[in-house]
Every structure is written in C-alpha cells, then in structure tokens.
Structure 1
Amino acid sequence: MRTGASRYAIDMGWGLILGQLGIDPQDVLRSARLPLDLFRREAASLDSAEYFRLWQAMERVSGDPLLPLRLARAMTAETFSPALFACLCSESLDAALARLALYKPLIGPMHLSVEKDASETVVEIRGLPGDIDPPPSLIAGELVFFTHLARLGLRERIVPTRVESPVPLPQPHAFADWLGCAPRHGEAARVAFRGRDAERPFLTANPAMWAAFEPGLRQRLSDATAQTSMAGRLRGWFNETIASGRVSINEAARDLGVSGRTLQRRLSAEDTSFQKELSAVRERLARHYLTQTRLSTGEIAFLLGYAEPNSFYRALHGWTGATPDRIRSGGGVVS
C-alpha cells in the first residue's frame, strides 16, 4: 500500500515568485478555484486535485509555455523554500536528491526514486495519482528543478546526461538549450547526472543549519505518512502553527475539519488531550532548540508560542526540573 500525505504544503514564497514574474497570484488562485489568501497562510496545504489545479492555473494565467524555465530562474539559493533549503544544505547532489526523495511526499502528490551506479545518478518521478493527469508544466518543472538544484549547489552549469519525459515538452528547443541536452520521450520523467558531478561537494552545504531544520521535517513526515491518529494530526498542526501563538482548540478543530467537541472526544478516546499534546510538542522542540541551536531563550519562547519568556521558563522547569542554561550545559535531563 502506498503511504504518503493526503495534503501537500504550499510555500508562502509562491506568491512572491509569481509576482516577480509579473503573474498576479490572485488571478492564479481565482482561476484555480482556490482561496485567495492561500499564499498568505502560515500552514497552507492542498490535496492532489487542488495541487494540479494550481499548476494548470499558472499555465493558463501566464500564457507562457516556458513558465517552468522562468520559475527556475526566479528560484535562487536565497529563496526560502523548505524543499530547496533542505537540498542546498546537503553535502552533494547525491545527498540532496536522497533528502528530496524522503521529504517529497510532504510537498507534492508524487514520489521520487534515486538510483546510482558507477557512472550515473538517476532521479525519477513515481507514484503520481492514477486518476488525475498531471499538467505538462508540472512535469517540466520537476525536470528543470532537478537540474537547477545541481547548478545552484555547485555554482556551475551542470548538464544532465539525459532527460526523459512521458509528455511532450512545449518548445523543446528552448528546454534543450536550457538543460544542455535534448529531452526525449520516456515512460517516466527522469533526469540522469554524471556520477562524478553528483558526488562533488555542494558549495552551499550547511550541516549546522540542517541539524536545526531537520527535526520539524521528520515530525511532519511521520505525521503525514502514518495512518495518522487524531493526536498525530494535531501534532502535525502544532508543528506548523505553534510559532504563531494561535494554538487554541477551536482553531485546531477548524483547520483539521472537525468540531471542537469531536476533536476533544477523539483525543480522549486516544487517551490524550489538546493540552497534553501541546505540552509534548513544546517540550520536544524546547529540548531540540536548547541543545542543537544557539537561539536565545527569548527566541525559543517565541518559537514555542509563549507570550513571554517567564512562561517558557516555568514550563521547562515543570518538564525537566532544570533551567535553560543547565540543559544547554548538559546538566539537565535532555533524553
């Protein structure tokens, strides 16, 4: 049985990138029949049909068959896209593609396969929903993204050894010029890179930043790919919204698509509660931030949704019996 998320995160940066390209984000959302505040939401997500409608709307509104290439040019190392950030922090293209394959189910209705032999690394799109035809621009965009990722990480115009697409790419000569090789028809969308290119160190590698960023992604992946309980869904919601400070049971119930009473009843049936799950998420994140980052205690309190640091200090002492400084120095209970 295929496991994966049923909803996929939409970066807040999408609206900014579209605006930079002269494409009105509101026109795109209106054409896709999606909420007009989607790109402003802190935890925006779409299901498969909505995700494909968004890409189809971008095709229509832009009227540009080369939109995937324009999107790639607008996406730089300074663009904060969680997927791009996670990849560029990697040690190499091989590591970046492996990381992308792991977390891809969070950001799109597809899975990636990465295969490596002595001469090549090949990344292939798999697991697209069988009942919905993906927009051609989405397939083209993925093929372009893999290549763009290699170029951003190595600061060099890396050329794939081959690019294959199951659907015809518009203006193939333009794509061939950008990719450096002519796309050809294949049973699946895939890009192959020379093994030596895929193994070269990324100039953007940043293990320390990745160490701070990874736990949240792992928790989201765990919550999304499991046969998720209501408590698991709630933990995923906390991970996405906790820094906003807006973590009331009514807001959680609304975003999870249930009534407040139903949420409380289902949590009780799972032998937990809203406050218990909120406290557990805050404790886990607090331990991580204190031991793995240099954030100040005030910054950590803010990220955990506390209005003031003193509230965080009291909660931390209740969880661990220790102060922030003691935990940072290794004297607290941090297991």
Structure 2
Amino acid sequence: MIDNSRLQHSVLGTFLLPVAQALRLCGVDPLELADGLGIDTAKVANPDWRIPQVQFNQLMESCVEASGEEAFGLLAAQQIRPQVLHGLGLAWLASDTVYDGLRRLVRFDKLVSSASDLSLLQEDDAVIVDFGRLPGMENFQFASRDYAVGMVARMCSLALGDFIAPVRVEMERPRPQQPARWESVLSARVDFDCEHTRLYWYRADILEPLVTGDPELARANDEQTQAYLDSYLDQSTARDVVDKIVEHLPDGPPSQQQIAESLHVSNRTLQRKLKEEGTSFMDLLQETRLQLAQKYLQHPNRSVVETAYLLGFSEPSTFSRAFKRWTGIAPAEFRETAQAR
C-alpha cells in the first residue's frame, strides 16, 4: 500500500493569514473557527507548512457560513501581501512587467496549490490567465476559486503600484445572489456559469515596464522558489497519474499506456518514474479506486451499483468482490456502517 498522504493536493499554509484577517474584518474569531476544523494555526509559523486542499476547501465553506459573506474569497484575497507567496511574491514584484509576473505565476503555480492548472493564453490584443479545471472533489467551494482569482488580480495591482483592472472576467461558479459585489471588487464585467475561469487584460496595459523591476532580485527568488518545489513535489508523477486515473475511471479502468499517453511520456518513462517514487501504476490504480469507493459509499444518495460504474467496473458483483478483497467487508456493509456514524 502506498503512502497516499503524500499524494494529497495541498495549499501553501501562509494562505491562511489573509483568510484570518478577512474573518476578523467580519467579526469572526479565526482561531476558534480553525480549531473547530482541526487546523493547527501554530503551524503557519513554519514557512514550509502546507494545508491539505480538502481541508482548505472545508475552511472556505466555514468562512462563508460564519461571515455571511458570499464573496468571502474575494475579501480574503484583498488582504494578501506578497510575502504570503514566499519567493514567488517577491519575484513577482521584481518582475520587469506585470506580464512577466503572470508568467512567473504560471511557471511556479504548484507552489500556491499542487492542484493548480494555470496557463497563460493570448487572443488578439488580450492576455488571458486560464485557471484550468476545477479540483476533482465533492462539495467544492467556489469561494476557493474566488480567492485564487482575487489573488491574481491583487498581485497584478501590487506589482504595478497602482490599480489595474482586468478587461473581463469569466467564472465557472454559479451566479451569486449579489453579482455586483464581484464586479465592484474586480472592477470589471464578470460573467458567471462559464465554461472556464479566466481573467483578461489588454496586452498593452501589462507590458509597460515597471519602475520596481529588478532582474537580479527576481532571479534570486526564482531559484529559491524552484528549490522549494524540487524538494516538495517529489511525488508529482504519482500525483499526476492519480489525477488522470480519476478522469478515466468512469469509462473503465485505464491502462498504464493510456495514462502515459495522456501525460505525454513513454510507457517505459512513466514506469521508471513511478518506481523511483516507490510505487507502481497498479498500486495507484487500486489505491485510487479504493479511496473513491469509500468516499462514494459514504454519500447517502449514491448506491453500490452507481459507485461500481463510476469506478469503471462492468458489473456491480465484480466491484463487490474487489471491495471485499481490499477491505474485508462488502460495500453494502461498509455503506451502512459509515452512514450510521
């Protein structure tokens, strides 16, 4: 069995600091709220500490509920200081242009969140930051995505030393009750229920040279950020494989060759990298199916039959035999026990 805790996606721990400040502005005690979720806030003092993405998602859900502020993610992003992003934040401020800062963010996006899937696009006279696919988790809180969008917009303004508004914002999130709140904070037209989450800027606005540009300082912080990522993301191949397995499972269990092709590497290279990380494709496939099975079976509206098909089993009986082999009990028994707690 692999150490799956190392494969969980996580968020930079210092991102809790702006969240705590936003809670205080709303009259909510951040320490009490975090403690109720089992988050040890004392760990924020450790610059290398990261919070599991699932737990951060739960935190944002609790923040929205406790504050009564549906735009809490944007409010938290307004409290961000460059130091929250460690070396990346300082390199961003020392960039030659706002555009260079955005390129650094895309290059080092895994520092912010290991599940990040940012990309930088160009369309006519616009430069676009695309936030990629939504994290594959149940009950995803769009306040987390609001926080990410607000963070990028705020860091662009901090780098410029003046407010710079996007031309347009597209968001996957459902239309909120007060959409004007988003347009006010971002100073741009915001479209909701979109296929992508994207920020658009005029190219000319973000290519102006910055008076704070310092190439040597930027490079020094780039090296620091890369060193951190090299030491932290030692399980990146396994994590990427798990992500691809989850995508493919509803269509049946993928082969190692399919996953290698989707990751744009050869089958032999993928096998070698996984071996270097102390695991194998079959280990990851079984562990992913087991964890998803346990999560799905705890959901009151998801049956054993539906779970079997979601995990790529052609027959519920085949799933039942596999689950009993993995856990020692039948899926129906596990479901009853889990939901009785």
Shorter chain as normaliser: what TM range? 0.5 to 0.7
Partner of 1:175: 182
Matches within 5 A, 1:261-276: none
Partner of 2:50: 45
d(CA) in 1 for partners of 2:46, 2:216? 28
Taking structure 1 as reference, are residues 210 and 24 closer, same or farther at Cα in structure 2, changes over 3 Å only? farther
d(CA) in 1 for partners of 2:104, 2:69? 31
Partner of 1:244: none
Partner of 2:231: 223
Taking structure 1 as reference, are residues 165 and 13 closer, same or farther at Cα in structure 2, changes over 3 Å only? closer
**Amino acid paired to 1:197:** D
CA contact (8 A) 2:169 2:200 kept: yes
**Amino acid paired to 1:155:** G
Match of 2:110 among 105, 108, 112: 105
Deviation per residue, 1:277-331 (Å, 9 max, x gap): xxxxxxxxxxxxxxxxxxxxxxxxxxxxxxxxxxxxxxxxxxxxxxxxxxxxxxx
The answer to which of 52-61 and 105-114 deviates more is 52-61
Identity fraction in percent: 19
Q: Return 5+ residue gaps in structure 1 as ranges.
A: 230-269, 271-335
Give TM-score scaled by structure 1 length: 0.59
SS of corresponding position for 2:95: coil
Partner of 2:122: 116
Matches within 5 A, 1:1-335: 6-11=9-14, 14=17, 17-18=21-22, 21=25, 22-76=27-81, 79-82=83-86, 83-108=88-113, 109-170=115-176, 171-185=178-192, 186-227=194-235
Q: Which has the higher contact order (CA 8 A, sep 6+)?
A: 2
1:203 CA displacement:
3.9
d(CA) in 1 for partners of 2:184, 2:39? 34
The answer to which of 170-179 and 17-26 deviates more is 17-26
**Amino acid paired to 2:163:** R
**Amino acid paired to 2:101:** A
Deviation per residue, 1:209-262 (Å, 9 max, x gap): 323322221122223344479xxxxxxxxxxxxxxxxxxxxxxxxxxxxxxxxx
Q: Return 5+ residue gaps in structure 2 as ranges.
A: 1-6, 238-275, 277-341
**Amino acid paired to 1:176:** E
CA RMSD in angstroms comes to: 2.9
d(CA) in 2 for partners of 1:211, 1:227? 26
Paired residue total: 227
